[in-house]
Amino acid sequence: MSGGAAQAITGHRDHHATGCPGNLYSRVISGEVNPGGGPLPHPGVIFRQSPVTVHASVATWQYRMNSAHGYGLAVDGQYGPDSDAACRSFQSRRGLAVDGLVGPATWRATFAQGSARRGG
C-alpha cells in the first residue's frame, strides 16, 4: 500500500490536528455513513478472539453492534470474550455460520440497512 492510507475507518482528525467541526465524524466512525457511498465495506481484517484482534475497525463494529443491534459492548477496539459472545449470538440469529469470526458475511449483516435491534 502506498500513500499512507489508514487500514481502518478513521477521520482526518485521528491523524493530525484540524479546525474542522467534524459534524460527520461520529457517523463515519460508527459506520453509519460510508464516505464512499453504499454499504460500509469490510476492512479486510477478520476479527477473532484468539489471538485477540486489536484494530480500529473493531471499535466501529462494536459501536454498530451496540447502536443497531442493542448489544452493550465496550467500544475499545479489542475483540475479546464479550465481542466474541455477541458475534456468536448475532451470527446465530442471522442464520450465519456461528464461528465467532467477524469476516465479510458477518460484517455485511452487521451494517445492513434496516438492521433490527435485538430483543431482551
CB 108 within 8 A of CB 39: yes
Cell numbers for 58, please give them.
Answer: 473493531
Q: Among 12-21, 35-44, 49-58, 107-116, which stretch is predicted with the lowest mean pLDDT?
A: 12-21
Amino acid symbol at 13: R
Residue 40 has what pLDDT?
75
Q: Report the run of H or E that residue 54 belongs to, with start and end.
A: strand 53-54
In 10 A of CB 99, how many CB atoms?
A: 13
pLDDT of residue 5: 46
Q: Quote the pLDDT of residue 29.
A: 55
Which position has the grid cell 449470538?
A: 89
In this prediction, residue 21 carries a pLDDT of 56
Percent of the chain topping pLDDT 90:
53
Cα angle at 26 between 24 and 29, to 5 degrees? Answer: 105
Q: Is the pTM here over 0.75, yes or no?
A: no
Tens of pLDDT, residues 53-110: 999 899 999 999 999 999 999 999 999 999 999 999 999 999 999 999 999 999 999 9
Rounded to whole angstroms, what are the CA distances from 93 to 31, 38, 71, 90? 21, 24, 13, 5
pLDDT at position 19 over 80 = no
